[in-house]
Amino acid sequence: MATANTVNGRIERARTELSPTQMAAGALFIAALGFTLLFVQDPLVHDSLHNFRHAAGVACH
Amino acid sequence: MFAEYLTRGVKAGVVAGLVFGLFMAVVANPLVAYTDELNHATVEESGHSHEAESAHSHETEGTHSHETEGTHTHEAEGTHAGEGGGHHDTAVSMAVTKVVSVAAGGLWGVVLGGAFFGVAFFFLEPAIPGPDAAKSYLMGLAGFITVSGAPWLVLPPAAPGAEQSLSVATRLPLYAGMMLAGALACLSAGYVYTRLRESSGSVAALVGAAVPFALLAALAVVAPENAVHGALSPTLETGLTGLFAFGQVLLWLVLAAAHARFRPSSASESESAIPTAGRDSAPAAD
């Protein structure tokens, strides 16, 4: 059955539960989020996260 | 069902985000501000001894224009000692940095909760060994290794103001690559454990699961060395590195504990009902 408790079952379940539009929207959202985090190196954003980046162990200087 | 998992993950993320935001506000913010200031003061001190007085003051105006501006406002305010003073080469004031960093700490928890305990857990839950509550903690451990633990083997959290020998352009791909390696190590450890436990017992399975992590450590040894050189005392730098590492461990622990706690009481029933339904329908199909 599609609900079999395996990883493949879960993927199958997500496929039946979510519409293609929902999946596309989700993928786009994650891509946008990742892009923002990776490439928005605007000094304003970057520098205001200075303390946080130290606390998270990702220091860039 | 997917929406339920995502909600549960984000809920755990909110709890962990509150804790980590608090950690940012009361521990990390003051400490980073202080060590930045201390570091900058030491650098300035050594600058004095190396250069002629006039040349030095000229250089201060040229390159550290914002710094002097910061010191100026600090003098004007009079109350916040060194706020923004020790924080050179920056586009924003220390006050803004502090507020944004606390907010980022909260969102960090939500993002990790949603991504790992919402989306990844939904797909991987059947493959994670152990009883239900233990699965949350194993997910937390895997998340920590992926996001922080594995990259830190090569690039441990640096103390504020420390100089690093590798350039940012080298370190970013290295960090991302170690995250990927960490994720692969966790996934393959889980896979090996499940496979070996079926065939050769749990001791062999544990040994087998340790192999990917040994490979990860070997990879970290091979990776390029990043020499960190700071003006702070080595003991203080070790303490700061330890504190920031502890902060991330705490974050993942709270995430896992909250996630285990938010397990819907009906979920354990429906989980066990799914295989039963499958078994019931199988003979009927025969």
Q: Scan residues 8-67 of B and list those with Cβ closer than 8 Å to A.
A: 23-24, 27-29, 32-33
- In this prediction, residue A1 has a pLDDT band, given cuts at 50, 70 and 90, of very low
Q: What pLDDT, on the 0 to 100 scale, is given for residue B158?
A: 85
- Evaluate whether ipTM surpasses 0.85: no
Question: Is the pLDDT score of B225 beyond 60?
Answer: yes
Within 8 A of B281 by CB-CB distance, chain A residues are 1
Question: Is the pLDDT score of B207 beyond 70?
Answer: yes
Q: What pLDDT, on the 0 to 100 scale, is given for residue B120?
A: 92
Asked whether residue B48 is assigned to any structural domain, the reply reads no
Asked whether residue B80 is assigned to any structural domain, the reply reads no
* Cβ neighbours of residue B18 closer than 8 Å, sequence gap 6 or more: B106, B109
Within 8 A of A5 by CB-CB distance, chain B residues are 126, 271, 274-275
A5–B96: do the CB atoms touch at under 8 Å?
A: no
* Cα B113 to Cα B147: distance, rounded to the nearest angstrom: 12
Asked whether residue B252 is assigned to any structural domain, the reply reads yes
Asked whether residue B73 is assigned to any structural domain, the reply reads no
Asked whether residue B56 is assigned to any structural domain, the reply reads no
Q: What is the pLDDT of residues A17-58, one digit of tens each?
A: 888 888 898 888 888 887 777 676 677 777 888 888 888 888
A3–B277: do the CB atoms touch at under 8 Å?
A: yes
Q: What is the percent of chain B with per-residue pLDDT over 70, rounded to a whole number?
A: 77
Asked whether residue B191 is assigned to any structural domain, the reply reads yes
Distance between the two ends of chain B, CA-based, in angstroms?
29
- Domain span holding position B228: 2-35+93-267
Asked whether residue B49 is assigned to any structural domain, the reply reads no
Into how many domains does chain B fold?
Answer: 1
Q: Is B104 on the interface with A (CB under 8 A)?
A: yes
Q: What is the pLDDT of residues B71-125, one digit of tens each?
A: 333 333 333 333 333 445 677 888 888 998 999 999 999 999 999 999 999 999 8
Query: Residue ranges of the domains in chain A?
Result: 7-55
Asked whether residue B144 is assigned to any structural domain, the reply reads yes
Average pLDDT over residues B161-168: 83
Within 8 A of B111 by CB-CB distance, chain A residues are 33
Which of the residue ranges B55-69, B104-118, B139-153, B260-274 would you say has the lowest mean pLDDT?
B55-69
Selected residue with higher pLDDT from B283 and B8: B8
DSSP collapsed to 3 states, chain A = CCCCCCHHHHHHHHHHHCCHHHHHHHHHHHHHHHHHHHHCCCHHHHHHCHHHHHHCCCCCC
